[in-house]
Amino acid sequence: MPESNLPILVEPAELADRLDTPGVVVIDLSDAPLYAQRHIPGALWLEYPRLLNSNPPVMGLLPDEATLSRLLGELGITPDTHVVAYDNETNNKACRFLWTLDVAGHRHFSLLNGGLGAWINEGHPVDDQPASPTAAEYPVRYQDEHRADKNYILTRLNDPDVVILDTRTPAEYAGTDKRAYRAGHIPGAINVEWTQAIDRQNNMKFKPAATLRELYEAAGAPPDKEIIVHCQTHQRSSHTYIVLKSLGYPRIKGYPGSWSEWGNDPDTPIE
């Protein structure tokens, strides 16, 4: 067990106090030019596309287990490492990485609340020297606890215990913004756009927990239900996934193919 004892949503000041804690690895998913200019001291850079696989038109799929195993090993991550992730935008990429770790059964991870912007705006130091990891071994075995596929959803469309949470824009949900062969939404899905969780007045951090609980429960996604989140390729919905996880929702799944799969399949039902 890592010694860090960091929460799933970690504040910049809290991380600053733990940067030298053994077993903590900080991962930067910003664009390469920005990482070269400034990053959290000691943070390792991860090229975001390496987390993804595709089978066009289906995008946003998980890499195979061997690929992720190699990637985590290159970063010096072991099953006992506490991973802290961030990026320079809205933390979507960082959240997708953490969701991937969750599917792989990794249990020790945190998101830097507000990402690099919050870190800098709150006065913490940055570095321009790339960090070099010590290679490790990570045997990846995907689990189904935190992922859903098309067939899983099809068999639960009328299940009152399951809520499908569409985190796309209202226009995508309504079908007026068409990004696949067909437009609309999964039957019965509710729509809470992922950006509603972001506090734009506070360094793009998550809104207060009480506000977020009220938001999702009012929309029809209470914590006693199984929540399946999706967007177009499960990048935006990964942000919502980590929001819900930080709120203590016990049963959350991400749908990696998302609308790129559902909307491009002529046989799936659509509203």
Amino acid 4: pLDDT: 64
Amino acid 2: pLDDT: 47
CB 155 within 8 A of CB 240: no
CB 239 within 8 A of CB 95: yes
Domains in the chain and their CATH numbers?
9-121 (3.40.250.10), 150-262 (3.40.250.10)
Amino acid 1: pLDDT: 41
Residues of the chain with pLDDT under 50: 1-2
If one counts every other C-beta atom within 10 angstroms of the C-beta of residue 68, the result is: 21
Distance CA(51)–CA(19), nearest Å, equals 24
CB 216 within 8 A of CB 68: no
Amino acid 5: pLDDT: 85
Amino acid 17: pLDDT: 96
Amino acid 206: pLDDT: 98
Task: Please say if 231 is a catalytic residue.
Answer: yes
Residue in 124, 122, 51, 46 with CA at minimum distance from that of residue 84: 46
Residue appearing with tokens 């599917």: 103
Residue in 100, 117, 98 with CA at minimum distance from that of residue 246: 98
Amino acid 3: pLDDT: 54
Residue appearing with tokens 């977020």: 212
Distance CA(6)–CA(110), nearest Å, equals 7
Residue in 138, 130, 131, 7 with CA at minimum distance from that of residue 77: 138
Residue of 112, 204, 228, 231 marked catalytic: 231
